[in-house]
Amino acid sequence: MTSVPLTQADRLPADWRDLLALTKPRVMSLVVFTGLCGLLAAPGPVHPVLGFTAVLCIALGAGAAGALNQWYEADLDAKMKRTASRPLPAGRMSRQTALHFGVGLGVFSVILMDLAANHLAAAVLAISILFYVLVYTVWLKRRTAQNIVIGGAAGAFPPLIGWAAVTGDVTTLPILLFAIIFLWTPPHFWALSLFVRTDYANAGVPMLPVVAGIESTRRQILFYTLPMAAAAVAPWLLDLTGWVYGIVSVILSVIFFVLAVRVFANKASEPKAMGPEKRLFAFSIVYLFGLFAALVVDRWLI
Ligand code: HEM
Ligand SMILES: CC(C)=CCC/C(C)=C/CC/C(C)=C/COP(=O)(O)OP(=O)(O)O
């Protein structure tokens, strides 16, 4: 028998591991990172305890949104290979437990944000949880191929929440940070959806490759890359950041664009395991991580 190395999560008791899985920790780690960077990029002093609590609230709120998403779509998750082993479809947890956990965590995160930071940060946190659960999961996901374009806004709020937690307001830079993630989400997700599209087709979810076909999805990925790159470079062009962010945003955006062109130029009717689509998806994560890290380096170290 081959031994698989244990991760931190594997060492948790089974019930805890499943509660953690409900929060979609891997995806949410980047969500929380963008929230942290929004907080660190904001002008003005922030008390470390307040800063830590605000980021914790973003993490708990995002986790709550993930749990409520899984509560609502346990039937769908059961039909897809990628999601069938989640706690609910695998029958390791009751839907009621997931619902209580999600609602409890969500309400707690918003109240704590309100007490530790301010009304604005708490309100935007509440809006992003509700947006992901009600607008994306309940309303759009099963109805339209534009689900990601509109519903993706939920994942774009965290930097704005981090910023608002420090300043109590929202100015041009946090709005641009929102725009970057909003425009990044379609290429991020559609690249992935190209190689898991049969899963979505079997589950009856109208994701773009299922509805519009592979060629149209490849074209739309490239199409969204252009305004995304413009939004990414805009903070530097508008003099809201320094040269470090400027250089990093230009380099990362050029690489993103080149990878998107390769996806567009790929004529293979079946996206391959290590083809241009997979490379673009993997790079989309590096891209957002690098961009937001550069923002913080620019503000604090230069
Ligand atoms: C509606 C918007 C989005 C959709 C539909 C979406 C969908 C997905 C899916 C299906 C996966 C692959 C499997 C998984 O781990 O569940 C994934 C992976 C990932 N997504 Fe997204 N995503 C969205 C927005 C975001 C946002 C806003 C972020 C962060 C700011 C993000 C960060 C990530 C990361 C880090 C991974 C890799 C997780 C891993 O390594 O397993 N996603 N996304
Ligand atoms: C602060 C706060 C509330 C942030 C919310 C963050 C957010 C909306 C992230 C979206 C990322 C995500 C988990 C997409 C999965 O889509 P899916 O549900 O279609 O994927 P699945 O098929 O894996 O379930």
Cβ atoms of residues 225 and 256 within 8 Å: yes
pLDDT at site 15: 87
User: Using CA positions, which residue lies closest to atom 2 of ligand 1?
Assistant: 152
Sign of the torsion formed by the C-alpha atoms of 147, 154, 196 and 83: negative
User: In this structure, how many other beta carbons lie within 10 angstroms of the beta carbon of residue 165?
Assistant: 29
Give the tokens for residue 63.
Answer: 């986790």
Q: Which residues line ligand 1 (CB under 6 A)?
A: 24, 26-27, 30-31, 34, 136, 148, 151-152, 155, 181, 185, 188-189, 192, 285, 288
27 pocket-lining for ligand 2 (C-beta < 6 Å): yes
Give the tokens for residue 164.
Answer: 């608002």
How many whole angstroms from 103 Cα to the centroid of ligand 1? 22
pLDDT at site 252: 98
pLDDT at site 272: 78
Instruction: Categorise residue 213: left if φ over 0, alpha if ψ from -120 to 50, beta otherwise.
Output: left
69 pocket-lining for ligand 2 (C-beta < 6 Å): yes
Per-residue pLDDT of the chain (302 residues; tens, 9 = 90+): 334 455 655 666 668 999 999 999 999 999 999 999 999 999 988 899 999 999 999 999 999 999 999 999 999 999 999 999 999 999 999 999 999 999 999 999 999 999 999 999 999 999 999 999 999 999 999 999 999 999 989 999 999 999 999 999 999 999 999 999 999 999 999 999 998 999 999 999 999 999 999 999 999 999 999 999 999 999 999 999 999 999 999 999 999 999 999 999 999 888 877 899 999 999 999 999 999 999 999 999 87
Cβ atoms of residues 149 and 182 within 8 Å: no
88 pocket-lining for ligand 2 (C-beta < 6 Å): no
pLDDT at site 271: 80
Give the tokens for residue 165.
Answer: 């937690």
Q: Which of 166, 54, 159 is nearest to 110 (CA)?
A: 54
User: In this structure, how many other beta carbons lie within 10 angstroms of the beta carbon of residue 301?
Assistant: 8
200 pocket-lining for ligand 2 (C-beta < 6 Å): no
How many whole angstroms from 243 Cα to the centroid of ligand 1? 29
How many whole angstroms from 179 Cα to the centroid of ligand 2? 17
Give the ligand with the smallest distance to the CA of 102: 2
Q: Half-sphere exposure of 260 toward its Cβ, with a 13 Å CA cutoff?
A: 26
186 pocket-lining for ligand 2 (C-beta < 6 Å): no
pLDDT at site 4: 46
pLDDT at site 22: 97
Q: Is 283 exposed, middle or buried (0-12, 13-18, 19+ CB in 10 A)?
A: buried
User: Using CA positions, which residue lies closest to atom 10 of ligand 2?
Assistant: 155
**pLDDT tens string 81-118:** 999 999 999 999 999 999 999 999 999 999 999 999 99
How many whole angstroms from 45 Cα to the centroid of ligand 1? 32
What is this structure's pTM?
0.95
pLDDT at site 8: 59
Alpha-carbon distance of 100 to 94, in angstroms, equals 10
Domains of the chain: 14-168 (1.10.357.140), 171-302 (1.20.120)
DSSP state of 2: P
Nearest ligand 1 atom to alpha carbon 148: 1
Instruction: Give the residue carrying structure tokens 């605000």.
Output: 54
